[in-house]
Chain A
Amino acid sequence: MSRFSPFREELELKPEEHELFCELFRGIAGLSLGPQSRFSMERRLRDRLVALNLKSFSEYYQVLRFHPHARAEMEEAIDAMTTHETYFFREDYQLRAFQEELLPLLAKEKKTTRRLSFWSAGCSTGEEAYTIAALVLASGLVDDWDVRVYGSDISKKCVSFARRGIYGKSSFRSSIPVAYTSYFDRRADGDVEVGKSIRALCHFGQMNLTDADKTSVVGQVDAIFCRNVLIYLTDDARKRVISTLYEQLRPGGVLMLGHSESLLNVTTAFELYHLKEDLVYKRPPGTP
């Protein structure tokens, strides 16, 4: 480290600086960051200041706003500010409902085109997308069909990681259910690599859900998983994301949110659809 830069512990995010950053991240990614986020923000961004050899958060703010490489640095900042926690087979009751109740329904609706597509919106490092692919394949309902699972995240790093498809222990909260072990390969180093069959279905890309910039490239899909993403967003951003998701869902398609998330007070465009163990949102059939 240069002799001019302060020790990293001395890099302090002042309340007024914190507000500036909050506004910036709210504008770019719709992140909802309250006053209580100051210390976590300080901790999350400190590494960037050290990496760029900056002396204060104000300087870093200037870099994010005006530097020629502001765009690339903003990606780093957003990456640091977002929570990427995820794992295979997360919220299994919902996945069961998807596989046992929704999938047969969707398959029936699409039996003439034999094409199904799914979107893991805010997929983080890809575990959710690969899980969906495994569930679909294991259902046995769509053998030889044309199946696609799109995974997207705002973080470049997460997307690249997802493409690699190699995971350590932390990506699994419990052992892989027996029915799915054949879709994964255990490597010599103990890591797990997703198998060719599910890898072939998954496509990853980088997208910011709060801005419809690229979201249309997924085309209209049959089901969207957008789980544990909306909780991090402001009301306004949430509304925008939901309307984007609505647009990218074919009429009759379903949207699955995380267990603590709902569309209450966000929109009435979706129909509630009751499954045995869960509740999902459906874009009403026949809507233009």
Chain B
Amino acid sequence: MTDVAFIATKLGSAEPEVRRLAARSLAQLDAEAGAPLLAQALGDSDWRVRKEAVTSAQTMRPRAAVLVVLEVLLDKKDNIGLRNAAVLALRALGTDATQAAGRAFDTLDADGRKLAVEVLVGASDEGAVAVLARALSDPDENVRIAGVEALAAVKGRTATARDLLSTLLANELSTELRLACLRSLDALSAVLPMPLLEQTLEEPLLRAAAVRLLRHVPEKRAALFSAMALKDPQRTVVREALRTLCHRIQIAGVEELEIVERTLAPQADVLALLRQLLLSSDDTEVRSGAILALSLARAPEDASLFVDALADDQIAEAAERSLRFYGQNDGSGLLTATKTAGPVARGAAISMVPLVSRDGDAVLLLREALLAAEPDVVVAALRGLSELGQAQDLEQVRVLSSSQNPSVCVAASHTIAALAELYPEAAAAAWARASSREDVDLAGCVLAACAPAVASGHQIADAESRIGYLVRAAGHPEPRVRTAAIEGLGGFTGNADARDAVTFAVADEEPSAALAAVRSLAALGETETLTQVLGRSKDASLLGAAFDALRHVSEGQAEIARRLLSERLKKETDDTMRAAISFTLARAESDA
């Protein structure tokens, strides 16, 4: 039996799976001989068989023969499944199908013309766009709409598509068609002239789609229209306006923000609706738009709404922006709101305090937050105080530096360092108090390391006792204290005790302390020891750190370091070390 006859039998089977496999084997047939079978398979009652046939049509040769069958099938009025399958098969043939689609468009009835247009969805060639342009003036509205929709999917020639669509929008009377135009223009991210959009906005049925297009328009007036759309009786329009505002506000300048602000402020009912949408909508963009709009309306009672929204991951970013808008006008309202917020929101809100207010109330609030039970809040307050804190805050922050919570501890030591820079004398005094106590601690290390550096000239704490303190702290059982001390000792170039302690700390069993030692060796200019670490260390991270440190000392040292590592790579037998060395060298090369 010939292949054709064999496949024909199979295609006649009652079993859909047998037919599907037969449709798949069509791919190997000659298109002339197989044409009737392809037509039969595309018209099969089972969609899986049709789908298989669409795929096979792409492989069958000669292609011209395939195109002929498919074009004929577009006119098979009695079998919708078959016609649709023919459209899909033609579409899959890409540019090759353009001519066939053009001929079909010129010869067939309205239904056929619509199918011809659908063939061109996703097309990219000039011929296809020309056919679609003709479709826009088709006597049949359905064909016109199909043309508009197909243009939205045009590849490459989007500028032409946009031009065609906006001309149509300006001149067409049918509302349905204009709606389709607006949607396609949005899909093409078209920037429409404001007058055309204004005209469209006047029509209630088009308004939502037109508002959506406002997001692409550069004119500030677009903001005014979006804000006004918030008062629209149609919910869909309000929602679309919020999405648009959400987009525009990300990039808006002051003037535009003021426009929105002025438009919204006196509208109590609009604000009520926005609050409702903020809390109940399931669309993140709508909610983000709502919170941004509310923050521009600046109703005092909304402060806590913004703060609470910080805890909502979906809109946290918009909430943060809102707080900034809002806080510019009403810092104290915001400060009050942070007190009643839930723990997550409170931490986030406290971290925003310095952005919206820097007065005495803000400082009091941060101080109060230091006493909070939640580490997030305390950390945020510590960060705030590192900007706004005063000399008197050193003491309380110092206490927190011995917190069991690592983030609090780290934040506290940063704040101590920042305050020490702002208030050198107070820091030196605090250090004197710390060092007069029996035990060394983290705060003491940070103070010893930085207070004197900034207090130079004040001669308050002598270097010898500071070094002694840090050397003792370098042996502290608590790794954080050791790390801070070792880091601090890096500031005493030329001192033998500092050098010895830092050198020995390379052997610290705690990685953070050993790494600090490498950094401090660099700060002290101990290149010889660093070179030794580089030549011998079995610890990949220490090795990397030593290499980086040497690279930053000088070009000459960098060269020595590179050579040393390359030498080591040749001799190294341990695979892990080889990998670490290669990685370090490669990193250096890519940096260079």
Partner-B contacts on A (CB < 8 A): 70-71, 146, 148, 150, 152, 156, 159-160, 163-165, 196, 199-200, 202-207, 211-214, 216-219
Contact = CB atoms under 8 A, between A and B. Distances in A.
B494 interface: no
B504 A206 contact: no
A156 B504 contact: no
Given A211-B538, A213-B537, A216-B532, A203 B438 contact: no
A-B pairs with lowest CB-CB distance, top 8? A205-B507, A206-B509, A156-B509, A163-B477, A214-B507, A159-B509, A164-B477, A213-B538
Given A150-B504, A200-B472, A213-B538, 12 more contacts: A71-B576, A148-B500, A163-B477, A206-B507, A211-B538, A212-B536, A213-B536, A213-B539, A214-B536, A218-B504, A219-B500, A219-B503
B237 to A, nearest CB: 56
A214 B475 contact: no
A134 to B, nearest CB: 16
A222 B474 CA distance: 22
A152 B505 CA distance: 11
Chief secondary structure at chain A's binding surface: mixed
A163 B473 CA distance: 11
Nearest to B503: A217
- Size band of the interface chain B makes with A: 20 to 34
Interface in B553-576: 576
A153 to B, nearest CB: 9
Contacts of B537: 213-214
B498 to A, nearest CB: 13
Interface in B485-513: 497, 500-501, 503-509
B564 to A, nearest CB: 15
Contacts of A164: 477
B158 interface: no
Contact of B475 (A70, A199, A211): A199
Given A199-B475, A213-B536, A217-B529, A206 B508 contact: yes
A174 to B, nearest CB: 27
Contacts of B474: 203
26 contacts: A71-B576, A146-B497, A148-B500, A156-B509, A159-B509, A160-B477, A160-B509, A163-B477, A164-B477, A165-B477, A199-B475, A200-B472, A203-B474, A204-B475, A205-B504, A205-B505, A205-B508, A205-B509, A206-B508, A206-B509, A207-B507, A213-B536, A213-B539, A216-B536, A217-B503, A217-B506
B538 A163 contact: no
A48 to B, nearest CB: 19
A188 B536 CA distance: 45
Contacts of A212: 536
A156 B497 CA distance: 25
Contacts of A71: 576
B476 interface: yes
A167 to B, nearest CB: 13
Nearest to B475: A203
A217 B504 CA distance: 5
Contacts of A216: 529, 532, 536
A217 B509 contact: no
A202 B475 contact: yes
A188 B503 CA distance: 36
Contacts of A213: 536-539
Contacts of A211: 538
A160 B476 CA distance: 10
Contacts of A199: 475
A200 B500 CA distance: 14
A150 to B, nearest CB: 7
Interface in B397-441: 438
B538 to A, nearest CB: 5
A212 B533 CA distance: 10
